[in-house]
Homo-oligomer: A and B are copies of this chain.
Amino acid sequence: MKSYPLRLLEDDVYSIPIDAFFKSAFSVDCAIFGYHDRDLKILLIQRGAAPYENFWALPGDLVYPDEDLDGAATRVLKDLTSLTDIPIRQVRTFGQVNRHPLGRVITVAYLALVEPTDLAPQASSWAKSTKWHSLNEVPSLAFDHSEILQESLGTLKNRLLTEDIFSNVLPQKFTLTEFQALFETILEKEFDKGNFRKKLVQFKFLKKLTESQKNVSHRPSSLYSFDEKKFNKMTEKGFAFDF
């Protein structure tokens, strides 16, 4: 069995024996949102272990003492769902004293937006099953995961406006209508088609390609590609969508 060596602890550095502090744990929980074709879903696992056995939950687990937080989130996601190469980022940390029945566990929530048709999540380790849930069909979740999910959804909306969290869910070549649909779905708003595309074109981070759609029974749309570098420079300088 693997063991996790800890550094020696010096006592009496604080007036309370420092050992008393080193009896907590922390976990990571991943809110993986899947966007495809005007549909936003959340990836949940069904827990196969106590506590909250059989409950649906965000993929998450305790962090090893010798593991960075970001690395832990990546590993845990892979352990439970077999997903790799998902770019995740923190939402915030949830630390209510009684949020975990087995002891003091604070949890760092992580967020990603992915294209589910690229992926095939498969339950492993103690996860019984995995499932993409529509956001209006989410059951009551384990721990404080319902709260974490709600806040993560809010953070997703914010980040969509201020950073490139969306390029993963677009194909290499996409239409402006697809781009618009993505923003309309996640922000739960509709936009005038003509005005939306005019604005997008002004921003100049979309490159119009020579190709266009094939085999559609209407005027084919021309395809665009996303200039990630240009967009990132813009957001670093304070650009944000004002949709």
Contacts and interface: CB of A to CB of B under 8 A. Distances in A.
27 contacts: A1-B16, A4-B20, A7-B103, A9-B102, A9-B103, A10-B50, A10-B102, A13-B49, A13-B102, A21-B25, A21-B65, A22-B103, A22-B104, A23-B23, A23-B25, A23-B65, A24-B24, A24-B26, A24-B63, A24-B65, A63-B95, A65-B104, A68-B96, A69-B93, A70-B95, A92-B92, A93-B93
B108 A93 contact: yes
B3 A20 contact: yes
Contacts of A103: 6-7, 9, 22
Contacts of A96: 68
Contacts of A65: 20-21, 23-24, 104
Q: How many copies does the complex hold?
A: 2
Interface of A: 1-4, 6-7, 9-10, 13-18, 20-26, 49-51, 61-70, 90, 92-93, 95-97, 101-104, 106, 108, 126, 242
Contacts of A14: 49, 61-62, 126
A9 B101 CA distance: 9
A190 to B, nearest CB: 15
Nearest to A101: B7
Contacts of A95: 26, 63, 68-70, 108
Contact of A97 (B67, B92, B108): B67
Given A14-B49, A242-B242, A104 B6 contact: yes
A87 B23 CA distance: 29
A101 B13 CA distance: 12
A72 to B, nearest CB: 8
Contacts of A102: 7, 9-10, 13, 18
A198 to B, nearest CB: 19
